Structure 1
Amino acid sequence: MRGGFDSWGRVVRRQRETAGPDELTGSAADALLPFGNGRSYGDSCHNDAGRLIPMRPEAVIRDFDPATGLLTADAGVLLSEILAVVMPHGFFVEVTPGTAQVTVGGAIANDVHGKNHHRRGTFGRSVESFVLRTSDGKRSRCAHAENAALFRATIGGMGLTGLIETATIRLMRVPSANVRQTAFRFASIDGYFDAIDEIDARHEYSVSWIDQLARGSSLGRGVLMAGDHAEDGGPARAPAPPRLSVPVSPPVNLLNRVTLKAFNALYFGRAPKTPKTAIVPWGSYFHPLDAIRDWNRLYGPRGLFQHQSVYPAETARETTIRLIECAQRHGVASFLTVLKRFGDVPSPGMMSFPRPGFTLTLDFANSGPATLKMLDALDEIVMRAGGAINPYKDQRMSAAMFEASFPDWRAFEAHRDPALMSDFWRRTAMQLDPLAQDSTLRKAVAAS
């Protein structure tokens, strides 16, 4: 069977070959890769030299116990489907990324993070156990104290250690899914860094939108939105289908400098000058863009690149300025520019992206070589700062940048299933160590 199975960035779009879950019995000669819901931005969910295993078909929630807050689901179940079941019982997922349209398996494989990393770390910390099937025919129950090495490798392992069949996750009890949000605008990047320590100490969630086009004394201006589950938030609506949609991709990028300059000025101008607190619906706080189906099409037929980096807190103010100024020098505009803190809560995952510091996310329309040159320049700033690039948001980082971001990747490679491969892993890790493609040699090296 063939299908689109595009990543969210839509930079490389083509029909892709698929396989069934029962076909995970091959070797490196017939490379496979599980595919969730395609919300990774780059090629970590692509396997164009092999086949993809769609995980969404027939995926169901297996069990939910409101007494303990434990839920067991197939890997292809969406977080939105989980929320629809657990919210009426007063529960919420401990960690949610910026969209609820990700699968449980994808959330584990990418060890996704949310607006409360400074409090609860990554999604992997919510995982109690999972059942992993590998190409040798084995099914292994993996948990903190059972097959612990494989457990750590699979969390953040981008789907390369085996096929997650089911997973049991821990939920958190909340008074309401809705959020008591405190929002205010800051006039420059100094306003954010001057306020964030106190904000994060007081609130479960925090995130900032940045006006990437602002210059001079206004450089880095934005809006900070802190939040907590509201004690008096009232009943929360269950996840609903998007209210709006972008049915076709326009012939040109609609999110360009002209439109974004006007949008940024309006958004910043409407934000409160001093902290204002109000109850907001959970969907608009956690997953605002889920209200627009296929919003990524607004970037036009060539797609978009997302650049997400993390860098040490000690030099975060200066590094953030350098990254914003770099994009400005290259004359590009970022529609979605987000700045937030990563705390020191350790991830259980061997290859997890989050680490203590600050993380900046920028979205850029794909304009060809000029965009790639700018992204390389951003990488250089991050590398010099001692930071890292997010692999599941990436479509083009060099092998050297990958190794600088994940210097211990060879320890993970020893746990990779030889029948599983992705386009991302081919162009990064396999370029650093081509011999690792030979599974026999790889296992011998790991054992030595």
Structure 2
Amino acid sequence: MSVRETNSWGRIDTRPRDIVDFDLDLLEAHTPPPQGQYLPFGNGRSYGDSCLNDRGTLLDSRGRASILSLDLETGILRAESGILLLELLDVLKDSGWFVPVIPGTKFVTLGGMVANDIHGKNHGHRGTIGCHVRQFSLLRSDGEHLVCAPDQNEELFNATIGGMGLTGYIEWVELSLIPVASHQVLETKIPFDTLEEGLALLAQEDPEHEYSVAWIDSLATGNKLGRGIMMLGDHVEVSSLPNYGEPIISVPFTPPIPLIAGPVLSAFNKLYYWRNANLQTPQVSSPDSFFFPLDALGGWNRLYGPDGLHQHQCALPFEGGEAVLRRMLETCHEANHGSFLTVLKRFGGIKSPGLLSFPMEGFTLTLDFPNRGETTKELLEKLDKLTLEVGGRVNPYKDSRMRPETFRAGFKHWREIERLRDPAMMSDFWRRVSRQDDT
């Protein structure tokens, strides 16, 4: 066992934690398994405490990162859970196949993608990653190696997709890929002046393009509230291969105060809007620049300062959702909290098998804020309340402080996860929202 600084991406609670390289003998040696002792750990890119277990030990999966099989005729891939998305994409870059759903960073593990049932910029066409999982092997703490699929150990299959590591250790995943002309993307940027214009553009363009997302200028007010840039993308045939690289530069230390706030944030938003508003001619973009722009700067989360950042992501139904989006932006202004990364997308109606899958048909808005203590928490509580008023939900793997009742209101199947949870697995998030603080 080693003790090293191991954080979630929000860095709200930065300190050394117990973590061990995963070993099959580790779980199999304990009979009966210790209650709540372990939690699988990928690459720590969850923003909140769903990937932490401060009363136990984290099981580091990165040592098991091999591709076990790849059928280029059918586009079926099987790989160990510790492999990074970066590594998968690099192997696939000249294959004519692509991972069907990818998040905003390539530094996530395959197991983490499944455990969080990640969504991407193409949810309306592809759903979540769970919609493309054919099967996986799940190691339970009683020593069982269970192959889980829609027609085999179905309950555990559904609970593990989006189950945040609570049902056991995912050993390998078999995934259906999608055929593409290349990994490069033909990108189109369209500016819009108001939130209403942006939502209308999303409704119009999302069905026509594989990928769609809108960046929102969180500091724009008045008749410019919700202005932003629509980014649309489709895979396009090109002769050059992408280079899936490491960060170009890295933030070497944590500054004593947040750097993404105040005048700096205001200047960035204005520059970003006007620069991209003048780039409306479609252009071929590398997957790194289209899907993972923030990955170019290593350790960018340090820019939020020593107290870390909170990210709030909600899913809102179409009915009532548009009005709530406006109220959320107004609430952030009233609280004097600007968001650096403000992203608006549409979710489609493709249903995931995952019991705790976050997306629902409608809108999703992502906001992030430097942690200013109680004032930030008060704002987040208000955003939670607005979310629940229209029957929405708050993303659990972006969270580090939501109330149990907020979580339970959005995820009606949480008791089924508790019933199927491996008794040896626990997270700080689950201990909080299921009220198991005394276990």
TM-score, structure 2 normalization: 0.96
Q: 1:15: which partner in 2?
A: 16
1:51 to 52, 57, 80: 57
Q: Which of the numbers 236, 243, 247 marks the counterpart of 1:242?
A: 247
Q: Give distance in 2, aligned partners of 1:66 and 1:130.
A: 19
Instruction: Note if contact 2:64-2:81 (Cα within 8 Å) is conserved in structure 1.
Output: no
| Per-residue deviation, 1:385 | 1.6
Counterpart amino acid of residue 389 in structure 1 = V
1:142 paired with 2:148, answer yes
Q: Write the deviation string for residues 80-136 of structure 1: whole angstroms up to 9, x where unpaired.
A: 100010111111100000011100000000000000001000011121111100011
How far apart are residue 349 of structure 1 and its match?
0.6
Residue 58 of structure 1: how far off its partner (Å): 4.0
Extract structure 1 runs of 4+ deviating beyond 4 A: none
Map 1:195-234 → 2, pairs under 5 A: 195-231=201-237, 233-234=238-239
| Aligned-pair CA distance for 1:171 | 1.0
Equivalent residues in 2 for 1:25-424, closer than 5 Å? 25=28, 26=30, 27-29=33-35, 31-231=37-237, 233-272=238-277, 275-424=280-429
- 1:146, distance to aligned residue in structure 2 (A): 1.0
CA distance in structure 1 between the aligned counterparts of 2:399 and 2:304, rounded to whole angstroms: 17
Partner amino acid for 1:24? L
Cα separation, 1, equivalents of 2:305 and 2:51: 21
User: C-alpha distance in 1, partners of 2:197/2:35?
Assistant: 54
Structure 1 residues 417 and 370, CA gap change in structure 2 (3 angstroms)? same
Tell me how far 1:219 sits from its aligned partner.
0.3
The whole-number CA distance in structure 1 between the counterparts of 2:377 and 2:47 is: 15
Alignment partners' CA distance in 1, 2:87 and 2:202:
33
Structure 2 contact 35–425 (Cα < 8 Å) conserved: no
Find the residue that maps to 1:220 and give its secondary structure.
coil
Kindly provide the amino acid, as one letter, of the partner of residue 326 in structure 1.
T
1:24 paired with 2:30, answer no
User: Structure 1 pair 122/263, CA: closer, same or farther in 2 (3 Å)?
Assistant: same
Partner of 1:443: none
Match of 2:226, as an amino acid? G
Q: Distance in 2 between matches of 1:273 and 1:240?
A: 28
Q: Is the 8 A contact 1:132 1:163 kept in 2?
A: yes
d(CA) in 2 for partners of 1:76 and 1:30? Answer: 22
Distance (whole Å) between structure 2 residues aligned to residue 295 and residue 252 of structure 1: 14
- Give the CA deviation at 1:273: 6.1
Secondary structure at 1:180's aligned position in 2? strand
What RMSD, in angstroms, separates the aligned Cα atoms of the two structures?
Answer: 1.4
The letter of the residue matching 1:120 is R
**Rounded Cα–Cα distance in structure 2 between residues aligned with 1:267 and 1:384:** 33
Q: Aligned with 2:435: secondary structure?
A: helix
Mapped to 2, the partners of 1:69 and 1:4 lie a distance apart of 38
Contact 1:178 1:234 (8 Å CA) reproduced = no
Paired with 2:137 and 2:174, the residues of 1 have a C-alpha distance of 9
SS at match of 1:249: coil
| Separation of aligned partners in 2, 1:409 and 1:119 | 27
* Preserved contact between residue 317 and residue 392 of structure 2 (Cα < 8 Å): yes
Is 1:429 matched up with 2:434?
yes
Deviation at 1:271, TM superposition (A): 2.3
CA displacement 1:393-443 (0-9 Å, x = unmatched): 001000110111112211221110011000000010135xx79x6xxxxxx
What amino acid maps onto 1:90 in structure 2?
Answer: G
- SS for the counterpart of 2:104 is coil
Length, aligned pairs only: 433
Per-residue CA deviations over 1:305-332 (Å, capped at 9, x if unaligned) read: 0000001112222111111111111111
Structure 2 counterpart of 1:444? none
Measured in 2, the distance between the counterparts of 1:399 and 1:28 equals 25
Give, in whole Å, the separation in 1 of the partners of 2:230 and 2:154.
39
> Which ranges in structure 1 are unaligned for 5 or more consecutive residues?
438-448
Q: Give distance in 2, aligned partners of 1:116 and 1:18.
A: 35
- State how far apart, in whole Å, the 2-side matches of 1:140 and 1:355 are: 29
Q: What secondary structure sits across from 1:89 in the alignment?
A: coil
2-structure distance, mates of 1:272, 1:236 = 28
Farther-moved stretch of structure 1 (25-34 vs 74-83): 25-34
Q: CA, structure 1 residues 28+385, in 2 after alignment: closer, same or farther (shift >3 Å)? A: farther
Q: Which amino acid aligns with 1:123?
A: I
Distance, in Å, in 1 between the alignment partners of 2:63 and 2:311 is 28
Report if the CA contact (8 A) 2:36-2:423 is conserved: no
Task: Determine if contact 1:185/1:274 at 8 Å carries over to the other structure.
Answer: no
Q: CA separation in 1, counterparts of 2:239 and 2:233? A: 16
Q: Which amino acid aligns with 2:15?
A: R
Q: Identity of aligned pairs, percent?
A: 47
Question: What secondary structure, in the 3-state scheme, does the structure 2 residue paired with 1:29 have?
Answer: coil
Contact 1:184-1:276 at 8 Å conserved across structures = no
Unpaired stretches in structure 2, ≥5 consecutive residues = none
